[in-house]
Amino acid sequence: MKTHNKILLAGELLVDAEKTYRSGETDGEFAKSILLAGAVIGIVAPLLEEQKIKSSHVQLAEMAARLRGLDVTNLPPKKRGREIGRSIGFYRLVYNSLKHAGDREKVKPSQDLLFDANLKEEAGHLISSAIDDYNKLSLLRRETNLELSDNLLTLLQSGWVA
C-alpha cells in the first residue's frame, strides 16, 4: 500500500481535466472534465477555507449576494453559510448532477436522470475555478515542500481560458 498526497493527486486530476477538455469532442469527455475538476475543487476548497482563504466559488457567491443587495459579511454566521452554500450549490449544479442521481428522501434516483446543461461550457467554468483555487494553495504547497509536475506548473501559470 502506498501513501498519497491529496494536493498532488488533485494536481494530476486538474491536468487530466484540462487535457480531456482540450481534446474533448463528446459530451462524455466534457462530463469527465467536469467530474475531474469538481473533485479538485472538493479537495482544494476545504484546504483554502481552513487557511481562511476564499475559494473562487465563495468569492462568486459573495459577489452574487452583493448584486442582489445583500451584504453577507454582516449576516449571522449560520445565515451567511446558508446564503453562500445556496450559491455554491448553483455553481456546482452540473457537477453534482453528474456525481449522483437522487437526493435522499426528496427525489428518487430513477426520477433524477435528466438535466439540461452545456457540458463544454460547464467544464470550462469548473476547470477555471479549480485552477484559480489550486493557485491559492501556494503557501500550503510551500510549507509541505511539494514538487509539482511540469505539466501542472505550466497549466497553473498559463492564464487558462476555456
Gap between the Cα atoms of 16 and 60, Å rounded: 25
Q: Each residue's pLDDT tens digit in the chain (162 positions)?
A: 999 999 999 999 999 999 999 999 999 999 999 999 999 999 999 999 999 999 999 999 888 888 888 887 888 888 888 888 888 888 889 999 898 887 777 888 888 888 899 999 999 999 999 999 999 987 666 666 678 889 998 999 988 887
pLDDT at 12: 96
pLDDT at 144: 66
Q: Structural domain boundaries of the chain?
A: 6-156
pLDDT at 141: 67
pLDDT at 162: 72
Length of the chain in terms of residues written: 162
Count of helix runs (H) and strand runs (E) in the chain: 8, 0
DSSP 73: G
* C-alpha cell at position 114: 435528466
Q: What Rg do the C-alpha atoms of the chain give, in angstroms?
A: 17
Residue 43 Cα distances to 36, 82, 116, 134, angstroms: 11, 21, 26, 10
Angle at CA 40, nearest 5°, toward 39 and 45? 105
Residue 147 Cα distances to 7, 8, 68, 81, 142, angstroms: 10, 8, 42, 34, 9
DSSP 107: B
pLDDT at 155: 94
Angle at CA 108, nearest 5°, toward 83 and 124? 50
Q: Give me the helices (H) in 51-149, please.
A: 56-67, 77-91, 93-99, 119-136, 138-143
